[in-house]
Amino acid sequence: YGCGWGDFMMTAHVPGVTCIGLEYDRRKRAYVKSLGFEVVDSHDDLAGLAPFDLFFCNQVLEHVAQPRMVLRTLNSCTSMGAYGFIGVPDFSAENFKLVTDGFRRGSLMNKNVNPWEHLNYFTYGSLVQMLHDAGFRVIQSHESGALKYFFRTARRHLGLNQYRVREWLSGFFGKAQQQ
């Protein structure tokens, strides 16, 4: 959901996995399609391709006007027992204090405070509540290694061998570090 330039899709594209993206930006959508992936631009189109066994929604909810609706849509498009990863910038009281204290000292504003692009800011509690309200059950949190858990679960769920998942992870984190 929110596939951007397709970085995660390129990494996740392994035997046994069909990657489908949702992206509203037509330039990004055209680029990802040029890579050979299916990309849709509406919730209705996404629902027409459902159900999905896995989903990845990282650094998206802070950009959308109606994050609750996005989560309900995601939930309606998943199969029973599906797994997903949802990541947002941490805007807990501690992080807010760090950002504002730094700003008062003359530091540049933290990239997670972006009123031109970020329409929403989440704490752990507010995100978990929204997820529960949308029908999701949180099984791991950031503090306990949610992304690593998601990849391990995806590997078991899809029957991928461990070597291929290590390759997948190194590709994903290698690309993330290059950006």
- Cα angle 49-88-150, degrees, rounded to a multiple of 5: 60
Which pLDDT tens digit goes with each residue over 29-47? Answer: 999 999 999 999 998 999 9
CA distance to 79, 89, 160, per residue, from 155 (Å):
17, 26, 5
Evaluated on CA atoms 78, 33, 88, 65, the torsion sign reads: negative
Residue with tokens 């805007």: 91
Chain centroid, CA 104 distance in Å: 32
Listing DSSP states for 86-147 in one string gives: EE--B--HHHHHHHHHHHHTTPPPPTT--TTT----B-HHHHHHHHHHTT------GGGTHH
Q: What is the pLDDT of residue 179?
A: 33
How many DSSP H helices and E strands does the chain contain? 8, 4
Which pLDDT tens digit goes with each residue over 87-140? Answer: 888 777 777 787 778 778 887 766 667 767 778 888 888 888 999 999 988 876
Share of the chain above pLDDT 70, in %: 75
